[in-house]
Amino acid sequence: MILRSIKLILLFFLIISCEKDDICLEGSANTNRITIGFMNNETESLTSISLINIRGVKKDSIIHETINTDQLKLPLNISSNKTDYILNYNDIIDTLSIKYRAIHEYLNRGCGFISNFILDSSTENINNNHGWIKEISIVKDSIFNEEKTNLYIHF
């Protein structure tokens, strides 16, 4: 009698232990990077640019050693509302200061939260004395995916 009951209890706990874990599937939404396009100030068209040693201000590690592209994706600092990048073009250094507001979005148990961003219009080039950046224009201030270009750097 008691043995039967114990068997029953064990069977029950077997079912409980077979509970599926909630895992975050690959391809789930993620915290997105900012997408920057480079535009020739005279022709007003997307133009490839060669930048070297792209790194964040106060960071020792370089995120991109060299790029030669008209579009660049950079991660934003999620524990701040400001991310500064040093952009070196032909040994002229400009600092792009990206300002934004973070909106945390809940996905599910497995994935938890991700961060979306709303770009602030005060995003600017900090040392603009004789820099190579002529103008920064925000074309899409919400960063909810990486498909659309968020801002253009005119050079």
Partner 1 sequence: MKKKQIYIFIFSLFTTTNIVGQEIINKDNDSVATKKKLLNVDKLNIGLDLYKPIYSNLNNDNLSYEIVASLRIFENFSIASEIGSQDKYIEDENVNFTSTGEYFKLGFDYNLFNNWTGMDNSIYLGMRYATSSFNNKIDSYTLRNPNSYWSDNNVFNNYQTINHSNQNGDWIEFLVGIKVETIKNFYLGISLRLNRLLSNTIPNNFSNLYIPGFNKVTDDNSWGSGFNYTLTYSLPLNFNKKASKK
Provide the binding-site residues for partner 1, judged by CB under 8 A. Answer: 1, 4-5, 8-9, 11-16, 18-20, 22, 24, 28, 30-31, 33, 56, 59, 61, 63, 75-80, 83, 104-115
Judged by CB, which is closer to partner 1: 29, or 46?
A: 29
Minimum CB separation of residue 76 from partner 1 in Å reads: 7
Minimum CB separation of residue 109 from partner 1 in Å reads: 5
3-state secondary structure labels for all residues of the chain: CHHHHHHHHHHHHHHHHCCCCCCCCCCCCCCCCEEEEEECCCCCCECCEEEEEEEECCCCCEEEEEEEECEEEECCCCCCCEEEEEEEECCEEEEEEEEEEEEEEEEECCCEEEEEEEECCCCEECCCCCCCCCEEEECCCEECCCCCCCEEEEC
For residue 87, the one-letter residue type is L
Minimum CB separation of residue 43 from partner 1 in Å reads: 32
Judged by CB, which is closer to partner 1: 18, or 129?
A: 18
Judged by CB, which is closer to partner 1: 23, or 126?
A: 23
Minimum CB separation of residue 44 from partner 1 in Å reads: 31
Judged by CB, which is closer to partner 1: 28, or 142?
A: 28
